[in-house]
């Protein structure tokens, strides 16, 4: 408010001097500054109204899950991204474990006299695919962590630090465009970006895919985790283990992991890469339109 008062004082001074000495340019400058000060005051009120109504907007786009208890849209978006990040990390760790088990099985060799056999050699390829899948989920986890950090920074700094700085710069003629750019970016990042993210994430739930992938990997690990710890120095132990795995259709059980993993990987990519990219593009377009509106002079005053 102090900045707006200073802007009003400058405009009043310009109006007074311009009118007293009949300097039209100075008078128009004072009129413009006064109009911009009024607009800045209105912007503060509009921003306060938007922020206060963001909590109500959670119901509007049907927020669901444990994150719906968060008070504002940006808190809901942060919570949703954090949940997706945790899910991606868990699946990544389970996929690495499954890769280790199947890779170990693929390296097993049974010696019958002079004949050597690798009954699960085909699982070496499956092990590589599981490792690559785990790596993809690790990358998605990194992307989600970066998004969470960025949203947390926006939540804590956008309105407290950057928006007042933009308002201060916009209140003066020489720095109006710079201030308008900062204000437009702040509003777009604080209001529109989390709103878009929350809407997209809430309308495309992937918990079913996650639960299916997690259950498949967990059961696989619980059933075959003994394999790398088995003592195969004894030939009888090796043969018994190979026979047990063959009877349990170990290779087919490994192949069954890829369907739920592929389904969840696609959903996780949409949630953590595609949706944020779409939201950022739309957010930047809206920021540009806001900048044009905030930086434009109020030319209708000059036509009066």
So where are the chain's domains?
Answer: 59-296
| pLDDT at res. 195 | 85
- Rounded to a whole number of angstroms, the CA Rg of the chain reads 30
Q: How confident is the model at residue 30 (pLDDT cuts 50, 70, 90)?
A: low
More confident residue, 199 or 301: 199
| CB of 18 closer than 8 Å to CB of 27 | yes
Q: Residue 37: is its pLDDT beyond 70?
A: no
Cα 21 from Cα 13, distance rounded (Å):
12
More confident residue, 107 or 236: 107
Query: Which range among 133-142, 156-165, 185-194 shows the weakest confidence by mean pLDDT?
Result: 156-165
- Give the model confidence (pLDDT) of 195-238 as tens digits: 888 888 776 656 788 999 999 999 988 888 777 666 555 555 55
Q: Residue 2: is its pLDDT beyond 60?
A: no
- Give the model confidence (pLDDT) of 272-287 as tens digits: 999 999 999 999 999 9
Q: How confident is the model at residue 46 (pLDDT cuts 50, 70, 90)?
A: low
| pLDDT at res. 95 | 95
Residue 82's region, left for phi above 0, alpha for psi from -120 to 50, else beta, is alpha
Q: How confident is the model at residue 244 (pLDDT cuts 50, 70, 90)?
A: low
Contacts of 225 (CB under 8 A, 6+ apart): 97, 101
More confident residue, 260 or 16: 260
- Give the model confidence (pLDDT) of 111-141 as tens digits: 555 545 566 667 788 889 999 999 999 999 9
Share of the chain above pLDDT 90, in %: 26
Q: How confident is the model at residue 44 (pLDDT cuts 50, 70, 90)?
A: low
Cα 103 from Cα 230, distance rounded (Å):
14
Cα 132 from Cα 268, distance rounded (Å):
15
| pLDDT at res. 261 | 94
| pLDDT at res. 24 | 66
Q: Which has the closest alpha carbon to 185: 213, 157, 152, 222? A: 157
Q: How confident is the model at residue 304 (pLDDT cuts 50, 70, 90)?
A: very low
């Amino acid at each position: 408010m102090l900045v707006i008062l200073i802007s009003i004082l400058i405009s009043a001074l310009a109006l007074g001097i311009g009118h007293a000495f009949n300097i039209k340019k100075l008078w128009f400058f004072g009129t413009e500054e006064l109009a911009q000060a009024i607009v800045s005051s209105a912007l503060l009120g509009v921003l306060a109204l938007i922020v206060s109504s963001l909590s109500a907007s959670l119901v509007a786009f049907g927020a669901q899950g444990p994150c719906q208890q968060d008070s504002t849209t940006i808190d809901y978006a942060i919570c949703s991204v954090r949940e997706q990040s945790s899910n991606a990390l868990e699946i990544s760790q389970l996929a690495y474990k499954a890769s280790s088990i199947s890779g170990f099985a693929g390296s097993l060799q049974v010696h019958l006299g002079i004949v050597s056999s690798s009954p699960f050699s085909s699982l070496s390829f499956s092990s590589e695919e599981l490792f690559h899948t785990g790596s993809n989920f690790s990358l998605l986890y990194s992307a989600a962590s970066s998004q969470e950090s960025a949203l947390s920074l926006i939540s804590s700094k956008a309105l407290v630090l950057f928006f007042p700085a933009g308002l201060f710069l916009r209140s003066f003629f020489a720095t109006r465009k710079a201030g308008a750019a900062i204000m437009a970016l702040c509003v777009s990042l604080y209001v529109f970006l989390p709103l878009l993210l929350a809407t997209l994430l809430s309308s495309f739930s992937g918990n079913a895919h996650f639960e299916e992938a997690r259950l498949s990997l967990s059961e696989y690990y619980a059933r075959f985790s003994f394999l790398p710890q088995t003592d195969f120095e004894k030939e009888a132990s090796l043969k018994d283990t190979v026979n047990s795995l063959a009877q349990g259709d170990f290779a087919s059980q490994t192949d069954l992991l890829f369907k739920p993993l592929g389904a969840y990987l696609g959903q996780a990519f949409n949630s953590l890469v595609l949706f944020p990219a779409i939201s950022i593009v739309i957010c930047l377009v809206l920021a540009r339109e806001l900048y044009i509106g905030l930086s434009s002079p109020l030319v209708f005053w000059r036509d009066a």
